[in-house]
Amino acid sequence: MRILVTGHLGYIGTVLTRMLVAEGYDVVGLDSDLYRNCTFGRGIVPVPTILKDIRDVELQDLEGFRAVIHLAALSNDPLGNLNPDLTYQINHMAAVRLAALAKRAGVSRFLFSSSCSNYGAGGENLLTEESPFNPVTPYGRSKVLVEQDVSALASSAFSPVFLRNATAYGVSPRLRFDLVLNNLTAWAYTTGKVMLKSDGSPWRPIVHIEDIARAFIAVLQAPRELIHNEAFNVASTSENYRIRELAEIVAETVPGSQTAFTPGAAPDTRCYRVNCNKILHTLPAFVPRWTARIGAQELHRAYETVGLTLEEFEGPKYQRIAHVRKMIADGVIGENLRFRKRPQAVAV
């Protein structure tokens, strides 16, 4: 099966692409490569690449593919808050346009990387795919809008699927430190303190990036009638944690570390727990393999291997919002996040 993966050079995309290739899929990537200077170690699998902003995709870019996996987006709440209008242009409008073009091009399956951020201020109860949306950020709202608009495109020949990923973690060639478990483990390793920026009370479901990739692969392999125009929470129900519980796991994992709170730490309005039984029951091929504790151990080993420093951790290389602001300040990209000079393709 020939598959187009947008955002294949990002945090999830580099891992998903590697796993798709290992499964024997014919993978082509599409990415502006905004984070080309954010590589952590090695492991980016080279595939044919369309070096293009997701806003500039044309019909011919999508011809000949059986499936599109759409990951490309402004990837978290802080980045989404940088310019909410731009967030809607990229995360919402460009995604819906991509889906419409894919349908015109004869693509039969469109997998959208959505988010449990859709639930936002979801409270204490376990939320299913039928629970109401309550996003509290432009990022979360943009994901809701895509689901609503792309769902309306579903037809007998075009099957959209919405994978609502929990908060991701894990080692990637395009590592991010602005994700809770990655961040807490890096604080512990570089300072000996597991720094909490909230009071630690909010709930958050988490999922390893390899398990996210397994979910996408399971959807690709599933019969159409099981996935057509469906949404799936992607994680394990047992992997819902309060932030302070994750901090305790990290403190137990990284020798000599202990939890601490930043000055002024306060409750976070984003609080949600999700039930993931639907994907496990519908797609038996999806078998999550990671837990928070095993993930913290993996992250700790990776940080030890490269000798991660506090300067690197706090710097702009692995913090998406800081990296983008630096690129704007350096004149590499404009306020619209487009390259001022089209970058040349790079070997990976």
Region 154-161 average pLDDT: 98
**For the chain, how many structural domains are there in total?**
1
pLDDT bucket at 82, cuts 50 / 70 / 90: confident
Residue 347 in any domain: the answer is no
Would the pLDDT of 267 be above 90? no
pLDDT tens for 234-253 read: 999 999 999 999 999 999 99
Does 258 fall in a domain?
yes
Q: Can you give the pLDDT at residue 347? A: 41
Per-residue pLDDT, 321: 87
Positive or negative: CA dihedral 268, 269, 275, 276: negative
Strand extents, DSSP E, the chain: 2-6, 26-31, 49-51, 67-70, 109-115, 121-127, 159-165, 167-169, 193-198, 203-208, 230-234, 240-242, 258-266, 271-274
343 lies in some domain: no
Residue 233, SS3 per DSSP: strand
Reported confidence tier of residue 258, pLDDT bands at 50, 70, 90? very high
Residue range of the domain that includes 244 = 2-329
Q: Domain containing 153 — which CATH number?
A: 3.40.50.720
In a domain, 341, yes or no: no
- pLDDT band of residue 78 (cuts 50, 70, 90) is low
Is 315 inside any structural domain?
Answer: yes
The percentage of residues in the chain with a pLDDT greater than 90, rounded to a whole number, is 83
Is the pLDDT at 134 greater than 50, yes or no?
A: yes
Instruction: Give the pLDDT confidence score for residue 341 in this predicted structure.
Output: 76
| Domain assignment of residue 339, yes or no | no
Q: What is the pTM of this model?
A: 0.95
In a domain, 23, yes or no: yes
Candidate from 8-17, 55-64, 76-85, 93-102 with smallest mean pLDDT? 76-85
Confidence band of 44 (pLDDT split at 50, 70, 90): very high
